Amino acid sequence: MKQQIEVNGIQLYAYHGCLDEEGRIGGHYIVDVSLTTDFTSAALTDDLTQTVDYVDVNRIVSEEMAIRSKLIENVGHRISRRIFQELKAIEKLKVKITKICPPINGDVENVAIIIKSKASDFLS
């Protein structure tokens, strides 16, 4: 059986962007992660070791967001790769990174990237 686990609204302050100012000043980000897995055993046994621990997802996202990149596309790729490497029960993954109030000379609330992938995209 396939089920979804979502860790939504991870709020972070990070220093991503192509402008030098973004590296110094930083900005607000929101990360959402959706995982496809089989947590049937965990549901039946009430055993955390039989599913994905949300703490691990949050840790990976936080650690990768702390590494400066020019592009949030790069950060999303790193988050995806690490989740597949460290959380073995994941079959599919969706990572959304939203950059709040990007400095793009316009009244724009946010920009976002979405990466949808499967384990074989990173573990070949």
CATH number of domain containing 50: 3.30.1130.10
Q: Is a pLDDT exceeding 70 seen at residue 2?
A: yes
Q: How many domains does the chain have?
A: 1
Catalytic residue among 70, 99, 116, 118: 99
Average pLDDT value over all residues in the chain: 95
Residue type, 31: V
Active site residue 92: no
Average pLDDT over residues 89-103: 95
Residue-wise pLDDT tens digits, 26-81: 999 999 999 999 999 999 999 999 999 999 999 999 999 999 999 999 999 999 99
Q: Residue 124: which pLDDT band, with cuts at 50, 70 and 90? A: low
Residue numbers of the domain that contains 95 = 3-121
